[in-house]
């Protein structure tokens, strides 16, 4: 197993800054199981680098809508690998990676946790911004269109956090967005845990395994 490197936010910002070369375009991926802190780190990196140098365009915008999940019979497994438009995500990453200054902006979908739905064209990515940070569970998955998505990422960082802390964060997040506490615990230890097991299996495929507590 690849050992996790204990790195501070400042050290990770420095590594991300090295990818943000003016006139070029790179996409940095941040992955890890649910509750690892992917969104938090992505926002911290972009906040430190500034909007002229980096922007976040996450994987969660490619959740299938609740209506589609209902038709598929998978609404109760939302967040599982088959409940995302992996081909659409791979296509977006290709456009983001190929963009150069002077090109039109690329518009990426966003995911609204308050609505539990994706929102089309919720994120604008100007072509002059050299670094796009994308985060999500399945960036290193080996099935479907996920390997095509991975091919457009300059680096992928895997966040490795203590299991107890990860589950505590996850339960708190589900509860904050409307699930009663018993249901939040059930989701975190059930559907989310199955997803976490799949993601953990991809850990050693990352370019960097980070022990980061935020």
- Residue by residue, DSSP assigns the chain as -PPPEE--HHHHHHHHHHH--TT--EEEEEE-STTSSHHHHHHHHHHHH-TTTEEE--GGGGBPPHHHHHHHT-GGGTTSGGGB-HHHHHHHHHHHHH--TTSPPEEEEEEETTTTEEEEEEEEE-TT--EEEEE-TTTT--STTHHHHHTT-SEEEEE---HHHHHHHHHHHHHHTT--HHHHHHHHHTHHHHHHHHHHTTGGGSSEEEE---
Residue 184 scores a pLDDT above 80: no
Helices marked H in 20-162: 38-49, 66-72, 86-98, 146-150
CATH number for the domain harbouring residue 191: 3.40.50.300
Q: What is the DSSP letter of 212?
A: -
Q: Stretch 127-146: mean pLDDT, rounded?
A: 98
Question: Predicted confidence band at 114 (pLDDT cuts at 50, 70, 90)?
Answer: confident
The answer, as to whether pTM is greater than 0.75, is yes
The whole-number pLDDT of residue 174 equals 76
Question: Predicted confidence band at 183 (pLDDT cuts at 50, 70, 90)?
Answer: confident
Question: Predicted confidence band at 1 (pLDDT cuts at 50, 70, 90)?
Answer: confident
Please tell me the total count of domains within the chain. 1
The whole-number pLDDT of residue 193 equals 87
Structural domain range at position 165: 5-210
Averaged pLDDT score across all residues of the chain = 94
158: phi then psi, degrees, rounded to nearest 5: -105, 125
Q: Stretch 170-190: mean pLDDT, rounded?
A: 79
């Amino acid at each position: 197993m690849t050992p996790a490197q204990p790195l501070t936010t400042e050290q990770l910002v420095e590594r991300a800054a090295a990818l943000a070369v003016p006139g070029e375009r790179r996409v940095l991926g941040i992955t890890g199981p649910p509750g690892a802190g992917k969104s938090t780190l992505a926002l911290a990196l972009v906040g430190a680098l500034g909007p002229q140098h980096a922007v976040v365009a996450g994987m969660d915008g490619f959740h299938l809508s609740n209506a589609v999940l209902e038709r598929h019979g998978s609404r109760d497994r939302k967040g599982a690998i088959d409940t995302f438009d992996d081909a659409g995500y791979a296509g977006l990453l290709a456009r983001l990676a190929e963009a150069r200054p002077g090109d039109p902006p690329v518009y990426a979908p966003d995911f609204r946790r308050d609505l539990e739905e994706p929102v089309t064209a919720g994120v604008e990515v100007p072509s002059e911004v050299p670094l796009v940070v994308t985060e999500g569970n399945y960036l290193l998955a080996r099935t479907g269109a996920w390997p095509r998505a991975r091919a457009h990422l300059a680096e992928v960082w895997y966040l490795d956090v203590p299991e107890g802390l990860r589950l505590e964060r996850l339960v708190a997040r589900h509860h904050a967005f409307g699930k009663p506490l018993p249901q939040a615990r059930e989701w975190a230890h059930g559907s989310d845990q199955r997803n976490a097991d799949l993601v953990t299996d991809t850990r050693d495929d990352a370019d960097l395994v980070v022990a980061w507590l935020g």
